[in-house]
């Protein structure tokens, strides 16, 4: 068949299918087979610009004539996203039931940058995020040690231009290379627009705090198939206020009562203090005696004021600092997407695509520094008579003070972008696509109080003698200290800046080699060339030793890959894929995959896959700096036993630094890059079945399992401190010159660089159901998606025991994997309006252990309770007014259900709630409008 005839044959088939679909939508009456049709004239004339796109499937490099569902790909279309009412790409991706253990916006204080990621099946470091099949630059402030931030930040992608999101829940290193162990999130952007479109959405959580809006304007001209070109540009802007702890008191109480093991307990979070404003008075009998009496103005009329905690046996109360901290940061986003396509001669198309996003996130997350006065307050001091009235000896009384002002803030600024240009089409029966791209992510971390804030400049030294009566007065407009303290904030200044870049060239081609019983044997080949760079600069002199000062890293990657599709029978096909990657710093890794689909009957089909995968360490992690740096502090103490003393002596002899071991001290943790890191390796398996009795009902289930070996991690401080002789290489002395932030040169410290250490195993079942029913009054629709985990366990080293986080908190990894996450969407649509009801569910789990006080006998015990399941209901409705306007109304968390009590801390700003599996926005009203012209 000639190419022209093939085009016209496809035109005829598509026309008949379209007419059939229209007829079915208009009536449920079957068309009799005997009905005659007028003859169809086939005109063998090539349309000037008409080109037909074949199907490209995430997870396969073969361009097909049709989607065969040989892979477990879950698709959310633009219409599906509209039904959920979600307003950002981060919310859309992280709300999927198959996601878990991701980083979300409330964790800005813990990850030192506004970073939010995707984590298929709870494996964030094994989830690859693509946009239109190409990579983006990973988060700009990549980490050298500690929790990784080597994935793509989602927050700067425009939701307004999302065509669909394809999530492959199967390993795909045989096609995409590194990072695709757990699967792939491929975000497909729109390619064309027609005319102007303006959208505006307003969001108002309960209580009015945390309000925000999202607006976009899009313009497009030309249709490639009709006009031979297309142009489009979309700009999206959003803004949202900060949600503070005081706006959600149930998540910022600092002290909670709960039941565990049939007893009642009370647990108190770390963000409470006896340093208050007005200042607390504390009596001390001697400089070595830590007992004594306390008094402060939070204790009035025999009880504590609101937002303060009881201080047993004292006429004083603890200040609760959580209400002043931010739960979710304020955010401002600007995003731009522009694309142009031009049809060239002989079926080729050139395109250019630009994607730019900028995000500013600011959160109140730092206490003001505390101060204390020395002994011997003068009689004219405001504290002197107060101490006398309380029966304290003024000569042995100290002032404990911390400003009760809005918390000091930190900020994260990101600018991400990608410029792509390329050409695609067909040449001598080869369907090809080639792209050259440049991607960059720049992330800045800023904070108020750029230096070490102290109050000496206003006459209040940290541990001196002062007579400032204003510390005994409330910090209100009449207190001159307020203005002086606000000046000391210093404004937001850059602490550090990181930049990652990708320079890439990717090309692939596929074609039909032969036919077997009318089914195509197809082959695809491709190359992937890229250069990765990472740069970091610490611009805060006070923390040059806390984190790396600076580095510049670079690597090159060359890869080739191929895939072969073989139809064994009319109903059974097998695909074989393989890829070889060569890293300039890691060597070569080869991976392969086999996947297959068997159509048992027209209604039943099965699919399965087996393969290997890998995840290379980031280019940052493999850099070795001249000196180690401090990146944390253990919460376990040194014992200074004979083994640790021997280590100190040996280190002193080898370094020339006089070493010391301070018994019961919490050691600092030193880190560095590791050029000996190797890729993590994985094997994965999946098997699934789909049932589609008719086109309006589809059910599917996929069993999956993945094992990851040589996982990149660091030896736990628990092991290093418990077995000093075995882990002697993991001890260091604080280097000479490290004298800030409480560091003492020569002190024994832990050295915990990243290493290839352990194993991770996960398995589960993904379910999906889709149903629709067109009736006389409209169309009913139902969609359900769920992930049920069977196993989720890790071991920190090859010889350690497996530890599970399935339905429980694992203190070693700090993670929780609920057994079940589920979402159901049901709705009804008519010609110009629709309404949807959405249910989101996360199952219960065993909480993190915490020291709590028994309410029956007052003893302190380490206990854990069961976190309740969390289910919320959302409602969305829309109405079309003509073809030019749409109106939207939504209510999130209709019943205003608060998050269940959980001590599995996911955010340093929140105590008593898990922000990954239960958001704290509460009931929220959403209003929106779209205008087209």
* Placement of tokens 């939508």 in the chain: 25
- What are the structure tokens assigned to 169, written together? 């829940």
276 DSSP assignment: B
> Going by DSSP bridges, is the β-strand pair 833-842/820-829 parallel, antiparallel, or unpaired?
antiparallel
677-735 confidence digits (pLDDT tens) = 999 999 999 999 999 998 899 999 999 999 999 999 888 888 899 999 999 999 999 88
SS3 content of the chain, % helix, strand, coil (to 5): 15, 50, 40
Beta bridge partners of residue 219, listed in sequence order: 196, 233
Identify the pLDDT of residue 371: 85
| Pick from 176, 67, 62, 133: nearest CA to 510 | 62
Cα 693 from Cα 697, distance rounded (Å): 7
- What are the structure tokens assigned to 831, written together? 């010609």
DSSP string spanning 200-229?
Answer: EEEEEETTSTT-EEEEEEEEEE--HHHHSE
Cα 116 from Cα 289, distance rounded (Å): 47
Identify the pLDDT of residue 797: 84
Q: Which residues contact 23 (CB under 8 A, 6 or more apart)?
A: 31
Cα 386 from Cα 50, distance rounded (Å): 88
Cα 306 from Cα 309, distance rounded (Å): 8
Ramachandran angles phi, psi of 579, nearest 5°: -150, 145
The SS3 assignment for 796 reads coil
Contact 206, 922 (CB under 8 A): yes
CB neighbourhood size of 203 (10 A): 22
What percent of the chain has pLDDT above 90? 63
Q: Which residues contact 428 (CB under 8 A, 6 or more apart)?
A: none
Q: How confident is the model at residue 872 (pLDDT cuts 50, 70, 90)?
A: very high
The SS3 assignment for 423 reads strand
Identify the pLDDT of residue 470: 84
Q: How confident is the model at residue 38 (pLDDT cuts 50, 70, 90)?
A: very low
Identify the pLDDT of residue 846: 97
Contact 280, 294 (CB under 8 A): yes
Beta bridge partners of residue 366, listed in sequence order: 408
Cα 767 from Cα 823, distance rounded (Å): 10
Q: Is the dihedral of CA 309, 311, 315, 319 positive or negative?
A: negative
CB neighbourhood size of 487 (10 A): 11
| Pick from 835, 817, 816, 819: nearest CA to 827 | 835
Identify the pLDDT of residue 37: 41
Residue 146: which region, alpha, beta or left (left: phi > 0; alpha: psi -120 to 50)?
left
| Pick from 183, 181, 185: nearest CA to 683 | 181
On the CB side of 888, CA atoms within 13 Å amount to 23
Residue 8 has pLDDT above 50, yes or no: no
Cα 673 from Cα 504, distance rounded (Å): 25
- As a whole number, mean pLDDT of residues 19-34 equals 37
Q: How far is CA 477 from the centre of its chain?
A: 41
Q: Lowest-pLDDT range, 65-74, 660-669, 808-817?
A: 65-74
Q: How confident is the model at residue 68 (pLDDT cuts 50, 70, 90)?
A: low
Total residue count of the chain as it appears in this document: 933
Identify the pLDDT of residue 541: 58
Q: Is the dihedral of CA 76, 78, 80, 86 positive or negative?
A: positive
Q: Which H/E stretch holds residue 304?
A: strand 303-304
Contact 64, 139 (CB under 8 A): no
Q: Which residues contact 78 (CB under 8 A, 6 or more apart)?
A: 162, 163, 164, 190
- What are the structure tokens assigned to 839, written together? 């249910």
Q: Which domains does the chain have, with CATH numbers?
A: 3-29+36-46 (no CATH), 72-246+328-365+410-450+491-628+672-714+753-932 (2.40.170.20), 272-320+369-402+454-488 (no CATH)
- As a whole number, mean pLDDT of residues 817-831 equals 95
450 DSSP assignment: S
DSSP string spanning 804-833?
Answer: E-BTBEETTTTEEB-SEEEEEEEEEE-SSE
Q: How confident is the model at residue 44 (pLDDT cuts 50, 70, 90)?
A: very low
Contact 441, 499 (CB under 8 A): yes
Helices (H), 27-115: 78-84, 89-94, 108-111
Cα 711 from Cα 757, distance rounded (Å): 6
> Going by DSSP bridges, is the β-strand pair 408-427/430-447 parallel, antiparallel, or unpaired?
antiparallel
Q: Which H/E stretch holds residue 668?
A: strand 668-671
Cα 596 from Cα 388, distance rounded (Å): 85
Identify the pLDDT of residue 542: 55
Q: How far is CA 405 from the centre of its chain?
A: 31
> Going by DSSP bridges, is the β-strand pair 697-713/680-694 parallel, antiparallel, or unpaired?
antiparallel
DSSP string spanning 359-376?
Answer: EEEEEEEEPPPPEE--S-
| Pick from 695, 831, 696: nearest CA to 776 | 831
Q: Is the dihedral of CA 133, 135, 139, 145 positive or negative?
A: positive
285-327 confidence digits (pLDDT tens) = 544 444 678 888 899 888 998 889 998 888 899 999 999 999 9
Contact 752, 792 (CB under 8 A): no
592-643 confidence digits (pLDDT tens) = 999 999 999 999 999 999 999 999 999 999 999 888 888 888 888 999 999 9
* Placement of tokens 């309000």 in the chain: 211
Ramachandran angles phi, psi of 3, nearest 5°: -65, -35
Residue 328: which region, alpha, beta or left (left: phi > 0; alpha: psi -120 to 50)?
beta
Residue 255: which region, alpha, beta or left (left: phi > 0; alpha: psi -120 to 50)?
beta
| Pick from 75, 82, 81, 37: nearest CA to 56 | 75
- What are the structure tokens assigned to 870, written together? 């969390």
Identify the pLDDT of residue 686: 96
Identify the pLDDT of residue 41: 47
Ramachandran angles phi, psi of 901, nearest 5°: -65, 125
Contact 183, 764 (CB under 8 A): no
Ramachandran angles phi, psi of 106, nearest 5°: -70, -15
């Amino acid at each position: 068949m000639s190419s022209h005839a093939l085009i016209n044959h496809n035109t005829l088939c598509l026309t008949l299918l379209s007419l059939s679909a229209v007829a079915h939508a208009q009536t449920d009456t079957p068309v009799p087979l005997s009905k005659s049709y007028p003859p169809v004239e086939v005109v063998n004339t090539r349309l000037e610009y008409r080109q037909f796109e074949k199907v490209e499937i995430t997870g396969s490099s073969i361009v097909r004539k049709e989607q065969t569902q040989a892979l477990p790909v879950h698709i959310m279309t633009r219409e599906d996203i509209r039904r959920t009412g979600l307003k950002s790409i981060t919310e859309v991706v992280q709300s999927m039931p198959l996601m878990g253990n991701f980083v979300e916006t409330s964790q800005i204080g813990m990850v030192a940058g506004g970073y939010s990621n995707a984590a298929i099946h709870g494996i964030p470091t094994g989830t690859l995020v693509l946009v239109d099949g190409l990579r983006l630059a990973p988060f700009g402030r990549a980490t050298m040690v500690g929790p990784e931030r080597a994935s793509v930040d989602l927050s700067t992608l425009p939701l307004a231009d999302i065509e669909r999101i394809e999530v492959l829940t199967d390993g795909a290193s045989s096609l995409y290379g590194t990072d695709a162990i757990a699967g792939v999130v491929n975000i497909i952007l729109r390619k064309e627009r027609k005319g102007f479109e303006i959208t505006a959405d307003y969001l108002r959580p309960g209580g009015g705090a945390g309000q925000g809006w999202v607006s976009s304007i899009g313009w497009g001209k030309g249709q490639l198939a009709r006009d031979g070109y297309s142009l489009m540009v979309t700009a999206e802007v959003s803004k949202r206020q900060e949600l503070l702890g005081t706006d959600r008191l149930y998540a910022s109480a600092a002290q909670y009562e709960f039941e565990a093991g049939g007893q009642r307990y009370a647990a108190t979070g770390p963000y409470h203090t006896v340093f208050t404003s007005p200042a607390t008075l504390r009596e001390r009998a001697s400089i070595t005696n830590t007992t004594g009496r306390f008094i402060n103005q939070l204790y009035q009329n025999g009880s504590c004021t609101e937002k303060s905690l009881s201080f047993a046996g004292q006429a004083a109360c603890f200040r609760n600092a959580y209400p002043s901290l931010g739960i979710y940061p304020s955010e401002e986003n600007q995003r731009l997407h522009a694309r142009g396509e031009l049809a060239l001669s002989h079926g080729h198309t050139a395109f250019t695509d630009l994607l730019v996003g900028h995000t500013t996130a600011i959160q109140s997350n730092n206490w003001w520094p505390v101060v204390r006065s020395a002994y011997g307050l003068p009689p004219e001091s405001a504290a002197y008579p107060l101490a006398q009235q309380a029966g304290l000896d003024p000569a042995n009384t100290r002032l404990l003070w911390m400003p009760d002002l809005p918390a000091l803030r930190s900020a994260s600024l990101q600018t991400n972008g990608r410029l792509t240009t390329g050409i695609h089409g067909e040449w001598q029966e080869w369907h090809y696509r080639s792209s050259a791209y440049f991607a960059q992510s720049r992330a800045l971390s800023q904070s108020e109080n750029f230096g070490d804030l102290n109050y000496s400049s206003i006459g209040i030294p940290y541990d001196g003698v002062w007579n400032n009566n204003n510390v005994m007065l409330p910090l209100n407009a009449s207190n001159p200290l307020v203005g002086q303290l606000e000046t000391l904030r210093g404004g937001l200044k850059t602490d550090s800046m990181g930049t990652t870049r990708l320079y890439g060239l990717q090309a692939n081609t596929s074609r039909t080699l032969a036919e077997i019983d009318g089914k195509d044997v197809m082959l695809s080949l491709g190359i992937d060339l890229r250069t990765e760079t990472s740069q970091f600069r610490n611009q805060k002199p006070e923390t040059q030793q806390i984190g790396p000062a600076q580095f510049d890293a670079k690597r090159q990657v060359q890869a080739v890959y191929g895939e072969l599709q073989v139809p064994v029978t009319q109903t059974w096909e097998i695909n074989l894929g393989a890829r070889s990657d060569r890293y300039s710093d890691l060597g070569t890794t080869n991976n392969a995959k086999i996947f297959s689909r068997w159509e048992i009957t027209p209604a039943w089909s099965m699919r399965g896959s087996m393969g290997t995968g890998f995840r290379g360490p980031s280019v940052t992690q493999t850099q070795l700096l001249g000196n180690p740096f401090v990146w944390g502090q253990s919460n376990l103490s040194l014992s200074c036993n004979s083994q640790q003393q021997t280590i100190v002596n040996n280190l002193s002899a080898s370094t020339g630094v006089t070493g010391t071991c301070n018994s019961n001290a919490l050691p600092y943790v030193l880190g560095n890059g590791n050029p000996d890191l190797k890729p993590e390796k994985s094997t994965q398996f999946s098997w699934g079945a789909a049932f589609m009795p008719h086109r309006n009902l589809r059910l599917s289930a996929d069993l999956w399992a993945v094992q990851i070996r040589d996982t990149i991690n660091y030896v736990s401080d628990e092991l290093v401190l418990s077995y000093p002789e075995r882990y002697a290489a993991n001890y260091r002395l604080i280097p000479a010159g490290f004298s800030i932030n409480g560091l003492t040169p020569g002190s024994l410290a832990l050295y915990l660089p990243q290493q290839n250490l352990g194993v991770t195993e996960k398995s589960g079942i993904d379910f999906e159901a889709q149903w629709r029913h067109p009736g006389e009054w409209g169309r009913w629709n139902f969609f359900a998606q769920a992930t049920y985990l069977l196993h989720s366990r890790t071991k920190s080293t090859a010889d350690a025991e497996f530890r599970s986080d399935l339905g429980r908190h694992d203190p070693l990894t700090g993670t929780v994997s609920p057994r079940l996450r589920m979402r159901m969407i049901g709705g009804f649509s008519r010609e110009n309006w629709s309404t949807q009801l959405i249910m989101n569910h996360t199952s219960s789990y065993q909480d993190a252990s915490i020291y709590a006080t028994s309410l029956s006998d007052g003893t302190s015990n380490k206990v854990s309770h069961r976190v309740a399941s969390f289910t919320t209901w959302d409602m969305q409705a829309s109405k079309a007014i003509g073809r030019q306007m749409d109106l939207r109304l939504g209510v999130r968390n209709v019943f205003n259900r608060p998050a269940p009590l959980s001590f599995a801390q996911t955010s340093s700003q929140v105590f008593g709630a898990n922000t990954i599996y239960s958001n704290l926005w509460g009931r929220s009203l959403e209003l929106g409008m779209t205008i087209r012209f």
